[in-house]
Structure 1
Amino acid sequence: MKKIAVLLLAVWQLHAEEIYATFDVKAEKSASLAFSSSGIVGEMKVDIGSEVKKDALLAALQNDDIKAMVEVSKVALKYAESDYERQKKVKQHINVSLFESYAYKYDHAKVQLKYQEALLDKTYLRAPFDGIITAKHSEVGDVVSGQMITKVYDIQSIKERKLILKFDQKYHEKVKVGDRFTYKVDGDDTLYTGTIYKIYPTIESSTRKMLAEVKAEGFPVGLFGDGYITVK
């Protein structure tokens, strides 16, 4: 059995081909964060280098006026509901159109509260995923615009990385998802291995290179290196 395994390995190596590729290290997840609403920045909760969990509060606009409108809407809903329930008890004794007017006011009050709560929620900026803050673009007191997309923070995944491989387009039919990539990072003699999990469907027109991705972990974003893709 051992002899057969060795023979199969030798045959596979005989038919394998190594294709040279360079790569850049990117974060697996990255995003530029901005408010979807306009206003004045009231709070900045984190700074560059802060590690945050998904949905953690990062910043907030001045929103006392919207908070007040939420409370007003809650009061309006409370009384609209009370009127509706009272009229529902005597529904058979009153005009249908009159009862429907109370039902309308009740439904309208519910919708108005949801609308004001949605406006309030837009004044808060939260983390879209677990990550680390890599840049800060605003300060307390800055005016931001939801229409102009004013960036507040940049965030990227903490450890998860991806290698963006570039290799000659003439190999576009040979390189497949699942192929092994053996590589070194610039300035490090350690030999690493990974597996191609994504191949881009287009070719870079300026360089005539194909792109592919390999998952990695722990490398600083911005590093580069090279290696060889082993294809059958």
Structure 2
Amino acid sequence: MKFRAIPFLCLFLGVLTGCHRPHSGPAESAPSLPAATVKVQPVERLRRWATEEVVGTVRPKLRAALEAKVQARIEEMLVVPGQSVRAGELLVRLDDREIRARYEQARAVYEQAERDFRRREKLFQEQTISRAEYDAAEAQLRVAAAALQEAETQLGHTRIVAPFDGVITAKHADVGDLAVPGRALLEIEDPKALRLEADLPEALLDRVQLGQTLTVRVPAAQVTLEGTVSEITPVADPRTRTFPVKVDLPARPGLRSGQFGRLLVPVAEVEAIRVPVRAIHVKGQMELAYVVKEGRAELRLVKTGKRLGEEVEVVSGLAAGESLVVESDRPLRDGQPVTIR
């Protein structure tokens, strides 16, 4: 029985020895890998302003709804949505026959009143008529002149012109429709002068001031730009507890009225590690990065935070002072020899 137990004892000792054998990792196979040429940059903790995002809408600074000041049929519609127009350009012509008839009547009355006044003025100078008769003729001339001016103004309202350079954005009527005061016929806006309109929560009101420069992001246009706060409504909306804010934007290609935007309001200064986005490799649900340690690439599992343009914050996985691989001439593996460019 003693000799029969010896093989089992040797087998048990062999298993224990195997459990304590050093694990062969990537570093053992690394010498067989070719050296990669990489570009590195030191990992640094940088200070930045933490921001709160407030959603808003890009709108034009100049926009107008054009409506008729007199009631008349539309005789001619000269523009369509999307058409660019110049200030003073004729957009809509209304039927002016009735108004023109009143204008001609007022003009005839004025000319008659003017002739009567000239005759009475001459008679008054000759002291043939009294001062009262002269004053009555003068008053009649002024009344007739005012009536003529009113009729001329009404006649001018039958021609609707562009109030500024811009683009027609909407058309609410067409030829044959009855134009009445209070109902818009066209909408026009200036696409060259845009701003972001947002509703600022009351908790952030003390962080924004007139003339302040804030960052605005418009995802649809793929632009991030600096805007200037031009208006802050001092009274909050009682339903939403927000304050409307308007931020003037510089001209950028692709920026259009109606687009969704985000206003970044600084709230506190924080310190965090920021690295180039290209240095982070995403595989499935994992975010990976390589650092150079003792002449070899070392794989790190990292966790990222907020993206800031071409950089991203790294919450964990990297330490300040390490050499981060930002470019490589070939795909890297953990433990692969590297040459720093």
Give the structure-2-normalised TM-score: 0.57
Q: Tell me the distance in 2 between the aligned counterparts of 1:159 and 1:206.
A: 33
1:215 corresponds to 2:251 = no
| Residues 139-162 of structure 1 deviation map (CA, whole Å, 9 limit, x = unaligned) | 11111222xx22200111121111
1:182 corresponds to 2:200 = no
Q: Normalized per residue, which structure has more strand?
A: 2
| Residues 98-128 of structure 1 deviation map (CA, whole Å, 9 limit, x = unaligned) | 3333223322221221121122122222222
**1:194-209 pair list within 5 angstroms:** 194-209=227-242
Q: CA deviation at 1:14?
A: 6.7
Who is 1:81 aligned against? 114
Who is 1:228 aligned against? 264
1:162 corresponds to 2:195 = yes
Q: Tell me the distance in 1 between the aligned counterparts of 2:122 and 2:70.
A: 43
* Unmatched runs of 5 consecutive residues or more in structure 1: 1-12
Q: CA deviation at 1:32?
A: 1.5
Q: CA deviation at 1:82?
A: 2.0
Q: CA deviation at 1:202?
A: 2.9
CA change 1:94–1:136 in 2 (3 A) is: same
Who is 1:44 aligned against? 77
1:118 corresponds to 2:157 = no
Structure 1 residue identity aligned to 2:108: V
CA change 1:82–1:227 in 2 (3 A) is: closer
Instruction: Verify the 8 A CA contact 1:186 1:225 in the aligned structure 2.
Output: yes
Q: Tell me the distance in 1 between the aligned counterparts of 2:222 and 2:169.
A: 28
Larger relative contact order, structure 1 or 2 (CA cutoff 8 Å, min sep 6): 1
**Aligned length, in residue pairs:** 218
Q: Tell me the distance in 1 between the aligned counterparts of 2:264 and 2:168.
A: 33
CA change 1:48–1:90 in 2 (3 A) is: same
Q: Secondary structure at the match of 1:201?
A: coil
Q: Secondary structure at the match of 1:214?
A: strand
Structure 2 residue identity aligned to 1:151: A
Q: Secondary structure at the match of 1:177?
A: coil
Q: Tell me the distance in 2 between the aligned counterparts of 1:43 and 1:196.
A: 42
Instruction: Verify the 8 A CA contact 2:207 2:265 in the aligned structure 1.
Output: no
Instruction: Verify the 8 A CA contact 1:133 1:155 in the aligned structure 2.
Output: yes
CA change 1:189–1:75 in 2 (3 A) is: closer
Structure 2 residue identity aligned to 1:70: Y
Who is 1:71 aligned against? 104
Give % identity.
26
Task: Please provide the CA RMSD for this pair.
Answer: 2.5
Give the structure-1-normalised TM-score: 0.82
Which has more radius of gyration? 2
Q: Secondary structure at the match of 2:214?
A: strand
CA change 1:172–1:68 in 2 (3 A) is: same
* Unmatched runs of 5 consecutive residues or more in structure 2: 1-45, 269-341
Instruction: Verify the 8 A CA contact 1:186 1:224 in the aligned structure 2.
Output: yes
